[in-house]
Amino acid sequence: QVQLVQSGAEVKKPGASVKVSCKASGYTFTDNTLHWVRQAPGQGLEWMGWLNTYNGNTKYSQSFQGRVTITTDPSAGAAYMELSMLVSEDTAVYFCARERAGSGLKNYFDPWGQGTLVTVS
| Sites of contact with other proteins (CB under 8 A) | 35, 37, 44-47, 50, 59-63, 95, 104-115
For other proteins, the closer of residues 65 and 75 by Cβ is 65
For other proteins, the closer of residues 19 and 106 by Cβ is 106
Q: Closest distance between other proteins and the C-beta of residue 78, in Å? A: 19
Cβ-proximal residues to 44 (8 Å cutoff; 6+ apart), any chain: none
**Residues 69-73: contacts with CB under 8 Å, at least 24 apart:** 70/34, 70/36, 72/34
**Cβ atoms 3, 98 nearer than 8 A:** no
Q: Closest distance between other proteins and the C-beta of residue 9, in Å? A: 14
For other proteins, the closer of residues 75 and 103 by Cβ is 103
For other proteins, the closer of residues 36 and 80 by Cβ is 36
**Quick count: other Cβ atoms within 10 Å of Cβ 15?**
10
Q: Closest distance between other proteins and the C-beta of residue 31, in Å? A: 17
**Cβ atoms 14, 83 nearer than 8 A:** no
Q: Closest distance between other proteins and the C-beta of residue 119, in Å? A: 16
